[in-house]
Amino acid sequence: MAQVSTGRRAGPRSPGGARALGVAGATGAALAIWAVGEPLLGHDLVVQQEGQQPRDLGAAAIGVFALAPSLLGWALLAALERVTPLAAQIWTAAALALLAVSFLPIISVQASGGSKAVLALTHLAVAAVLIPVFWRTAATRAADSGSRR
């Protein structure tokens, strides 16, 4: 009989451990892109929205803007796993839609082309880490792979 993963085991090989590493990796990837883009290449990540003061997006802002959505994504996946066997598919579609929508502020703010490129790359880096990790660790995906053995 195939063993079904419920996502409740502890340790680095558990879905929760893998997701925690995914969140850390996504945040680290965004910060690495910031470190290359701002300090090394000199693209000051100063953005200005109409009617507001310019804001300099430093490492702290990039870290928070990567960490918070990553944790919210984890919470959404966990909630979906409790209510539907299609959690992985629904979460992935939502994540891809959110990634697309996340580019709207980048397009609409006033910033240099280099700054916009760095910001866009941070969004892509977070998605490139989180989407595969969360897809692989979704309970329905673990159940599917276990039943094929």
Phi then psi dihedrals of residue 56, to 5 deg: -95, 115
Residue 51: per-residue pLDDT: 82
Residue 43: per-residue pLDDT: 77
Q: Where are the domains of the chain?
A: 15-143
Residue 4: per-residue pLDDT: 44
Closest CA to 141 of 50, 28, 25, 15: 15
CA distance 31 to 92: 23
**pLDDT tens per residue across span 48-62:** 888 888 888 999 999
Instruction: Spell out, as residue ranges, where the chain has pLDDT lower than 50.
Output: 1-11, 142, 145-149
Q: pTM of the entire structure? A: 0.81
Dihedral (C-alpha) 20, 25, 27, 30: value to the nearest 10 degrees? -160
